[in-house]
Amino acid sequence: MGIVRISRLQSQGRTWNNSPPDDPLGLAEDGWEFLESNPRDSLDGTRSPDISLLIAKPLTPITRPGGPGDAELSDRTSGSEMSDSSVSLNTAMNMETPHDREIRSILALSDSVRASLTENLSLGSDTIRLTQFLNSVLADEVHDGRSLSFDTLLKAHLDKLLQDLLDPLKKPDPVPGTIFAVMTAAKSLEKSWRARFKERYADIDKRRLSAMLSNGALRDVTFAALSADNVVTWKAKQVTPACEVEDSYKFRPGQWWLNISCAHRDGVVDNDQEKPTKGKYGIAALPLLTGEEESLEDRKIKYIRRSLHRAQMHIPLMSKVGCRMRILRGYQLRSLFAPIGGVRYDGLYILRQYGLKLDEFTELYRLELTMERIESQKPLALLQRIPKPAQLDQWTLYQKFEKDKITQMYGETRSTQWYLTNQEEEAARSRWHADHNPSEEFGVDVSADKFEPKRRRSLVRLSLPEDKWHAARIKDPTDEPTPER
């Protein structure tokens, strides 16, 4: 690449990483040779002695994510535009062009950093990789003329990455020098992309939604109706036949859809209701979209559902104790392992026990299913990280599109009623999670991530109009001040 310019934050009155004077910022540790530095405008436009425009060259050639050394990034893709839910992993890999692989790797890097910012107010383990990538793109943008394409920017959600990097709510106080340097590069890139792409950058979410509707996450499904109790239904226009449980290799734990109709379209279930999918020899799949889950020992969970109607008690499961089935979880399920948006496939389970009771006083049926997760599958603690940030971008667009559809078809009053119902349900789920947040489940320490409550709170904010956020803000345990360490 040759000589490039890098914005880095100098230490204030201290030696950076104990590096020698001829390498004031420890660039050699990151694989760069320091050449010279000059004063540079700070983020607020003033001249600052703490910020320099560093001129350096790489000690070894730098490649953007997607090279042979970045195979681990491919395993952390978000499953959005570059890896659609209906395409098997092997098929998707075989269909990819080099451009697609580069986008998928950049997207994985973006998701990793954005998740770390949301969870831990840090850049995570990909700090050096992110710094090198941003500096490489910025150098190409300003000097070499080999600019990053709009298609890559859109599909890799780089606009959202820059937003998160510049969001003051996702930074520790005080801001470390490494994050400040990345913020400087992000601000420069955003300014450059806005100037170069103009209205395309301003309308990038509209283009993203259009891609979702044409050949992405919302293809071949259509908004159907809004019921009297404010439940939205979607319908699949084209459906892939549901596969047997023996063919579950066609789906992998962690695959994610915006709603159950999208899962129906792709054939993981055979209907768009909360009903078991029947196979030739048993039950192939069971979506858990509502109700409640309790975690038990030895990879077991207890699913509880209450209803006035016996038909909703999954009667066909009564004779299937001991059988395997695919389990999907929806965001409305009160469970420690439910996704914070959409529907996710969580792997194969064995039905161990079926129980049905009738409360004569309330006339409510109570269904209890005890299920055991089969070993040698991706841990549930890892599945909790899905949907990833890029998928949450799609979820936010989906919610807005759904609200606009309701307003268009049913009027502003019904749209407001639906919106308030959703917020009440979200508040109830947030309270449930606050009461049931565990320290350890299934032998995997999930408290170390401090993941679920923060991600859920951030999603609620995304689903609210900005001017209503503070008024409707939901109380969450993570709002309390963090004790000093």
Percent of the chain clearing pLDDT 90 (strictly above): 33
Note the pLDDT of residue 327. 93
Neighbours of 335 (CB within 10 A): 23
Residue 33 placed within a domain: no
* pLDDT one-digit tens code per residue, 381-412: 889 899 999 999 999 999 999 999 999 999 99
Query: Which has the higher per-residue pLDDT, 5 or 367?
Result: 367
Note the pLDDT of residue 155. 93
Residue 149 placed within a domain: yes
Residue 3 placed within a domain: no
Q: Are residues 199 and 222 in the same domain?
A: no
What pLDDT band is residue 311 in, cutting at 50, 70 and 90? confident
Q: Are residues 246 and 195 in the same domain?
A: no
Q: SS3 for 429?
A: helix
Nearest 5 degrees, angle CA 337-CA 343-CA 346?
50
Residue 373 placed within a domain: yes
List the structure tokens of 485. Answer: 């360490």
The strand pair at 283-288 and 277-278 is best described as: antiparallel
Q: Which residues contact 221 (CB under 8 A, 6 or more apart)?
A: 234, 235, 236, 237, 259, 261, 262, 265
List the structure tokens of 319. Answer: 């004779």
Note the pLDDT of residue 8. 34
* pLDDT one-digit tens code per residue, 147-169: 788 999 999 999 999 999 999 88
Query: Which has the higher per-residue pLDDT, 29 or 119?
Result: 119
- Which whole number is the average pLDDT over 237-241? 85
Please tell me the least confidently modeled range out of 140-154, 174-188, 346-360: 140-154
- Which whole number is the average pLDDT over 96-115? 89
- Return d(Cα 67, Cα 108) in angstroms, integer: 13
Residue 120 placed within a domain: yes
List the structure tokens of 109. Answer: 């890097």
Note the pLDDT of residue 29. 43
- Which whole number is the average pLDDT over 16-40? 42
Q: Are residues 434 and 409 in the same domain?
A: yes
Residue for token digits 């959409």?
342
Query: Which has the higher per-residue pLDDT, 145 or 203?
Result: 203
Q: Which domain holds residue 369?
A: 217-485
Q: Are residues 245 and 117 in the same domain?
A: no
Query: Which has the higher per-residue pLDDT, 386 or 29?
Result: 386
Give yes or no for residue 196 having a pLDDT over 80. yes
* Encoded amino acid at 152, one letter: T
Residue 6 placed within a domain: no
Q: Are residues 399 and 448 in the same domain?
A: yes
* pLDDT one-digit tens code per residue, 419-438: 998 888 888 888 888 887 75
Whether omega for the bond prior to residue 387 falls within 30 degrees of 0, making it cis, is yes
Give yes or no for residue 469 having a pLDDT over 60. no
Residue for token digits 């859809």?
257
Residue for token digits 């439910």?
338
Q: Are residues 188 and 275 in the same domain?
A: no
| pTM (predicted TM-score) | 0.72
Give yes or no for residue 285 having a pLDDT over 60. yes
* pLDDT one-digit tens code per residue, 253-282: 999 999 999 999 998 898 888 999 887 777
Pick from 158, 182, 204: which residue ends a domain?
204
Q: SS3 for 52?
A: strand
Pick from 204, 238, 273: which residue ends a domain?
204
Pick from 204, 236, 271: which residue ends a domain?
204
Q: Are residues 165 and 257 in the same domain?
A: no
Residue 36 placed within a domain: no
Contact indicator for 291, 313 with CB cutoff of 8 Å: no
DSSP string, 183-236: HHHHHHHHHHHHHHHTHHHHTHHHHHHHHHHHHSTTTTEEEEEE-TTS-EEEEE
Q: Are residues 194 and 236 in the same domain?
A: no
Q: Are residues 183 and 230 in the same domain?
A: no
- Structural domain count, the chain: 2
Query: Which has the higher per-residue pLDDT, 421 or 441?
Result: 421
The closest of 412, 283, 408 to 348, measured between CA atoms, is 283
Q: Are residues 353 and 376 in the same domain?
A: yes
Q: Are residues 279 and 411 in the same domain?
A: yes
Residue 454 placed within a domain: yes
Across all residues in the chain, what is the average pLDDT?
A: 74
* Encoded amino acid at 330, one letter: G
Give yes or no for residue 476 having a pLDDT over 80. no
Give yes or no for residue 21 having a pLDDT over 70. no
Residue 443 belongs to domain with CATH number:
2.30.280.10
Note the pLDDT of residue 436. 79
Q: Are residues 173 and 277 in the same domain?
A: no
